[in-house]
A and B are shown apart, each in its own frame.
Chain A
Amino acid sequence: MRKIIHIVGLLSLPIIVSGCSDMGVKPWERDILAQQEMNLISDPIESSLNDHIYFSKEASSGGQGFGGGGCGCN
C-alpha cells in the first residue's frame, strides 16, 4: 500500500508540475493573491501555537512545513 502511494505520488509530480504550466495568472492579475490574507500561512504565529498544541497531543505533526518539534512535550 505504501509503495503504491509512493509510486503514484512520484508519477503524479511531473504531471502536476507540467500541467500547471497552463494555469496561473499574468503579473498584473495578482491583486487578489497579493493580499496578506491570501498567503498560504497568513498568520504564522497563530499557526505555530496551534501546531505546538497538536504536536503535544497527537502522534502526527508537520505536513505544511516542519510542524512540532523543539520541545519535550511529546
Chain B
Amino acid sequence: MITFISVKKPVVVGKDLEVVAVAVTKKTHNNRELAQLLAAASCALIGGISPIVNAADSWDVDSAFLLYSESDGRVSAAEPVISATKNYDEETKLTFKIAADTLTGASPNGATASDHVQIFTSPSGKSSYNATTGEQPLDDTFKDTRIALSSNWTAPIDRDWAYGVGGYLSKEHDYQSLGVNGSLTRYLNQKNTTLTLGLNLSNDTVNPEGGIPTGLIQVPLNNLGSEFTQRSDAENKNLIDAVFGVTQIINRKTIMQFNYALSTSSGYLTDPYKIISVIDDNAGTNYGGNFQSSGRDLYLYEKRPDSRLKQSIYWQTKYQFDNDDILDVSYRYMFDDWGVNSHTIDAKYRFRFDNQYLEPQLRWYTQSKADFYHRYLNSSDYTNADFASADYRLGDLDTYTLGLKYGYKFADETELYTRFSLYHQESSGDKGYGKLTSQELYPGLDAAMLILGYKF
C-alpha cells in the first residue's frame, strides 16, 4: 500500500508541477480564485516558473479513517492514515505518511466444506478449530496489526525534468516489507505531455506463526509432528516494479493517462496459512468425500511457484463538463505468467455544488484463475501436483463495488468527506463430484467500507 502512494504520487506530482508552473494555487473553486489563478498564470509566463508565493513553506495534512467489515463474521479492519506534505516551493515537496491497521475475524483456509465436522490444526500447531457440517472452513485465529511508514521527496531538475525518491517500511508480527523507489519525469509539448518512469524495489520477509510449512505436505495434527520440527522460521521475497506512464492534456477539460507496468516477484510467494483438501475419487460410499490419510482427513499445505511476472496496461481519463461536474473513468488489463488475466473498469461521477460534492462510483473487476488453482485435489493424483492453491483469490472471480462519496469544502479550503461503499465478490469453478456436489464450494462475499477523511 505504501509503495502505491510513494510512487504513484510522482505521476500526479508530475501533473501538479505542470499545473503549478502556471497556476500557483491548486485549490481553486470559484470564479474569484480563477481570476487570481489566471493572474498568477500570467505572472508565471512573464517571470518564468520561479516560485511566487502562497504554497511555500506550508504543510498540507491529509488524514482518513477506514472501517471495513465483511459479512458472516469474516475479516474486519480499522485503519487510520495520516499524511503530511511540506511544500518548500511549488515544485519541491517532502511527504511523510503513517498508517496503522488492525485486522480481526475469520479467513477461509482453502479447505472445502464437508458432509462431516472437520477439525483443522491452527497455523501455530498449538491448537485446533472446527468447521461444522456443510460450513465453509474459516480460520478464526486470523489477527494482525500493522504499522507502515513512508516518506517521499519530489523536486525539479530543470525546466523539463523532475525526479522523486522515496522509501517505506511496513511491519506486522509475521510480515515485514522494506522498500525504496524513484521516479523520473520529463515534460514535453509545453508541458501538455508528461512522461514518467517509476521504479520500486522491495524486500519482504515472511515469518509465519509456527514457521514455514512444507508445500503439498499433509498438515500435521499438531506442532509435535515431524514436519513442524524441521521448519525454517522465515523466508524472503523480492519485488521489482516498474511503471512507464504518459500523461496527456487533451484539451481544456480533458486529461488522459496511459501506463504500462511490469512487476516481478521472486522468492517465497506461497501463503503459509492456506491449505487444500484432498477428495476421494475412488468409487464407493465415500466418493466425493474427504480422503483419509494417517487416520484423518487429508489436507495439504498449498504451494505456489517461486516467481511471478505481472504486466498491466492502464488507461484513465478525467473530463469536466460545462456544469463543472467531473467524470473519471479508468480501465486496467492485467496478465501474468501464473495464468491470471483480469479486467477492471472504474467509473466515478462527481456532482459539484457550491461547497459540496456528491460522487457515486461503480467498479467492476473480473479475473480468470491461475494455472495451479484447484478448489481441491483428487486422491488418485495429488502426489503428482507441482503447485496447488485453493485460495479463492487465485480462482475465477468477479467483484463489484458500489460507492457514494460526499464532501464538504470549508471557506479556508479544508475539506471533510465521507464515503460508503459495498463490495461484492462472486467465485465460480469446478463443482466437484459425488458427495462434494452438495457442498457450497464457492461462497460469495459481501463487505462494507466506510471512509471518513479530513484535509487541512
Contact = CB atoms under 8 A, between A and B. Distances in A.
B23 A40 contact: no
B431 interface: no
B62 A60 contact: no
A52 B179 CA distance: 16
Contacts of A35: 26, 28-29, 320
Interface in B361-400: 365, 367, 370, 393-394, 397, 399
A64 B330 contact: yes
Interface in B301-357: 310, 312-314, 316, 318, 320, 326, 330, 332, 334-336, 338, 340, 342, 344, 350, 352, 357
Interface residues of B, number: 118
A44 B83 contact: yes
B7 to A, nearest CB: 5
Interface of A is mostly: loop
B246 A27 contact: no
Nearest to A2: B335
Interface in A47-73: 47-49, 51-55, 57-73
A35 B321 CA distance: 13
B419 A71 contact: no
A44 B12 contact: yes
B130 interface: no
A62 B103 CA distance: 22
A65 B255 CA distance: 17
B248 A24 contact: yes
A53 B449 contact: yes
B146 to A, nearest CB: 6
Contacts of B83: 44-45
A34 to B, nearest CB: 4
A66 B243 contact: yes
Contacts of B402: none
A63 to B, nearest CB: 4
A49 to B, nearest CB: 5
A40 B6 CA distance: 15
B181 interface: yes
Contact of A69 (B239, B338, B357): B239
A49 B241 contact: no
A40 B320 contact: no
Nearest to A27: B22
A9 B79 CA distance: 38
Contacts of A70: 1-3, 148, 168, 170, 177, 179, 202
Interface stretch (B114-122, B189-197, B214-222, B223-231): B189-197
B11 A25 contact: no
A67 B344 CA distance: 13
6 tightest Cβ-Cβ pairs between the two chains A and B: A65-B8, A24-B192, A72-B175, A63-B314, A34-B23, A63-B332
Interface of B: 1-9, 11-12, 15-16, 19, 21-23, 25-29, 34, 37-38, 41-42, 44-45, 62-64, 66, 68, 79, 81, 83, 99, 101, 103, 144, 146, 148, 168, 170, 172, 174-175, 177, 179, 181, 188-193, 195, 198, 200, 202, 204, 206, 239, 241, 243, 246-253, 255, 257-261, 263, 271, 310, 312-314, 316, 318, 320, 326, 330, 332, 334-336, 338, 340, 342, 344, 350, 352, 357, 365, 367, 370, 393-394, 397, 399, 417, 419, 423, 425, 445, 447, 449, 451, 453
Interface of A: 2, 5, 9, 13, 16-17, 20-21, 23-41, 43-49, 51-55, 57-74
Given A23-B192, A31-B38, A58-B367, 17 more contacts: A21-B189, A23-B249, A27-B21, A32-B252, A34-B28, A35-B28, A37-B350, A46-B417, A53-B423, A58-B393, A58-B399, A60-B344, A65-B4, A66-B263, A69-B3, A69-B177, A71-B177
17 contacts: A16-B246, A24-B190, A27-B21, A33-B19, A37-B357, A41-B12, A46-B417, A48-B99, A49-B1, A49-B451, A53-B449, A60-B340, A63-B334, A65-B7, A66-B4, A66-B6, A70-B148
